[in-house]
Amino acid sequence: MKPEIYDLIGIGVGPFNLSLAALSSPLSDLKTLFVDSRPKFDWHPGMLLDSASLQTPFMSDLVTMADPTSQFSYLNFAKQTGKLYSFYIRENFFLPRQEYNQYCQWVCRQLNNLKFNFHVENLEYEQQLDCYRVSGKDKVTGKVQDFYCKHLVLGTGTQPWLPEFCPTDKHITHSSQYLNNKAMLQSKSDITIVGSGQSAAEIFHDLLLDIDKFGYQLRWLTRSPRFFPLEYTKLTLEMTSPEYIDYFHNLPSAKRQQLIHSQKSLYKGINSELINDIYDLLYQKKLNCDFSAELLTNTSLTNIKQEGQKLALSCLHNELEQDFSFNTNALVMATGYQYQLPTFIEPLRHKLNFDENGELQVERNYNIDEQGRIFAQNLGLNSHGLTVPDLGMVCYRNAIILKQVLGKAPYSIEERIAFQQFGIPKKESFTPSRSKTTSMSQEAM
């Protein structure tokens, strides 16, 4: 018997693939399935701090930028859960991260094309059926199952990254596990945070709130020359546009690498309000108590050694080019995430495109193979620029993927939205228009 063949199967259900699942759901001519090994959707639970907010406005939800009328929009969630007027009165476009997580979980409950607790173990191409076989195990029943599809979308996301010199130690916590280990951290007399981005700033602020209650010493290390704010001016935001993706994607590889390195403050910076809140909190705390909090810029962590109950940190001051060291009782590594190609895709590796650095090559339409049948989410920083991790561009990306799968666009895809031009303008754009003075002179003749 010929098996049921889906048009598309997504592996991993983070915000990117959940958006694709929601946009796929109302399309009657598309059969989709999205699987995830976790028991439910939970977006970075270790960083769901009470004070943390998204860095993009609420319109960067799962569907609005592709279909503002969708039943899966944040505004409909707010209406259905009785929060709409509260949201209106709040007058803040930036959702608390906890609320965004609740919204995504609400969308999950509305969809019938999601399957959690399914661990993918292998992928194969079935020549006779001209489709892919997704093999895995239901973690609840233990049953082995196969699903078949014409297209694949990898949405397995990134994994917490730690430098090679970082030992395994119960007193070292990656930021992704911060809330799980917060009580342990606050039981120590000395806490050090390493990182230059939003997560490091949020953790420093959170621990600073209780510094007088617990009496620990707090330290924040960044290798950047200053605590860079996320640039959020309007013309800069036009760099998250279809035009800029086209421009960036057509640049030579070396130039793209250079640009990404120079643009970190555009997608990895700290929310400026949070930077100001940290300063104000330091000022306020200093009025009422004596505490120790150090903020060290230009400081690269070069090594970590375990010395009994302490951690010895070796550092380099980048501008002074001098080494120094100190001890700490607990360490939070807000060192980010890194993409790892899942092992289950090895049987299809020969079908994938890789660049000269051995990394997956993401084509303009987000496929990673020659046939345009395997796509990747949240990947392609070196090919598509700073739009890749941006929640505001998720719908745009998924609208293009759906167009590739269906051969038509179920949602309109904007091609030009920016006022500025990123490349060399066409010659005709320099053609002067007839001025009023010229016209009057000609008439006088």
Give the ranges where 82-172 is alpha helix by DSSP (H).
Answer: 84-90, 97-110
Quick count: other Cβ atoms within 10 Å of Cβ 17? Answer: 26
Identify the pLDDT of residue 436. 47
Identify the pLDDT of residue 442. 47
Buried b (16+ CB within 10 A) or exposed e, 351-383: bbeeeeeeebbbbeebbbbeeebbbbbbbbbbb
Average pLDDT of the chain to the nearest whole number: 93
Q: How confident is the model at residue 249 (pLDDT cuts 50, 70, 90)?
A: very high
User: Of 371, 165, 31, 211, whose CA–CA distance to 219 is shortest?
Assistant: 211
Question: Residue 19 class from Cβ within 10 Å (0-12 exposed, 13-18 middle, 19+ buried)?
Answer: buried
Q: How confident is the model at residue 289 (pLDDT cuts 50, 70, 90)?
A: confident
CB distance 13 to 114 below 8 Å: yes
Q: What is the mean pLDDT of residues 135-158?
A: 96
Percent with pLDDT over 90 in the chain: 86
State how far the Cα of 329 lies from the Cα of 189, in Å rounded to an integer. Answer: 7
State how far the Cα of 264 lies from the Cα of 259, in Å rounded to an integer. Answer: 9
Give 5-35 pLDDT, tens digit per residue.
999 999 999 999 999 999 999 999 999 999 9
Query: What residues contact residue 259 under an 8 Å CB cut-off, 6+ apart?
Result: 248, 251, 385
Quick count: other Cβ atoms within 10 Å of Cβ 332? Answer: 27
Report which DSSP code applies to 403.
Answer: H
173 to 86, 161, 170: CA distances (angstroms)? 36, 11, 7
pLDDT of 177 over the 80 cut? yes
Percent with pLDDT over 70 in the chain: 96
Enumerate the β-bridge partners of residue 323: 316
Q: How far out from the chain centre does Cα 364 lie?
A: 19
Q: What is the mean pLDDT of residues 334-348?
A: 93
State how far the Cα of 296 lies from the Cα of 226, in Å rounded to an integer. Answer: 9
pLDDT of 4 over the 60 cut? yes
pLDDT of 90 over the 60 cut? yes
Q: What is the mean pLDDT of residues 385-399?
A: 94
Q: What is the mean pLDDT of residues 317-343?
A: 95
Residue tagged 């890194």 (tokens): 338
Q: What is the mean pLDDT of residues 89-102?
A: 96
State how far the Cα of 369 lies from the Cα of 388, in Å rounded to an integer. Answer: 18
Q: How confident is the model at residue 356 (pLDDT cuts 50, 70, 90)?
A: confident
* DSSP string of 4-54, one letter each residue: PEEEEEEE--SHHHHHHHHHHTT-TT--EEEE-SSSS--SSGGG--TT-B-
pLDDT of 97 over the 90 cut? yes
Q: What is the mean pLDDT of residues 90-116?
A: 97
CB distance 244 to 385 below 8 Å: yes
328 to 96, 162, 171, 245: CA distances (angstroms)? 32, 18, 10, 44
Identify the pLDDT of residue 217. 97
Quick count: other Cβ atoms within 10 Å of Cβ 311? Answer: 21
pLDDT of 348 over the 80 cut? yes
CB distance 292 to 156 below 8 Å: no
Parallel, antiparallel or unpaired: strands 158-160 and 32-35: unpaired
User: Of 207, 212, 217, whose CA–CA distance to 287 is shortest?
Assistant: 212
pLDDT of 430 over the 80 cut? no
- Angle, helices 97-110 vs 15-24, to 10°: value is 40
Identify the pLDDT of residue 265. 78
Identify the pLDDT of residue 432. 55
Considering Cα of 106, then 107, then 109, then 115, what sign does the dihedral take?
negative
State how far the Cα of 250 lies from the Cα of 72, in Å rounded to an integer. Answer: 34
- Angle, helices 272-288 vs 198-209, to 10°: value is 20
Question: Which residue did the predictor score with more confidence, 231 or 192?
Answer: 192
Query: What residues contact residue 25 under an 8 Å CB cut-off, 6+ apart?
Result: 32, 72, 111, 112, 113
* Helix and strand element counts for the chain (H, E): 15, 17
Parallel, antiparallel or unpaired: strands 5-11 and 144-154: parallel
User: Of 376, 392, 388, 387, whose CA–CA distance to 62 is shortest?
Assistant: 392
Identify the pLDDT of residue 359. 86
User: Tokens at residue 324, please?
Assistant: 């120094």
Identify the pLDDT of residue 441. 44
pLDDT of 429 over the 80 cut? no
Identify the pLDDT of residue 278. 97
Minimum mean pLDDT range among 136-145, 177-186, 355-364, 407-416: 355-364
Identify the pLDDT of residue 140. 96
Q: What is the mean pLDDT of residues 144-155?
A: 97
Identify the pLDDT of residue 18. 98
Q: How far out from the chain centre does Cα 244 lie?
A: 18
Domains along the sequence of the chain with CATH:
5-159+338-406 (3.50.50.60), 162-230+268-335 (3.50.50.60)
Q: How confident is the model at residue 357 (pLDDT cuts 50, 70, 90)?
A: confident
Question: Which residue did the predictor score with more confidence, 357 or 112?
Answer: 112
Identify the pLDDT of residue 431. 54
Identify the pLDDT of residue 433. 53
Q: How confident is the model at residue 79 (pLDDT cuts 50, 70, 90)?
A: very high
State how far the Cα of 425 lies from the Cα of 416, in Å rounded to an integer. Answer: 14
Q: How confident is the model at residue 238 (pLDDT cuts 50, 70, 90)?
A: very high
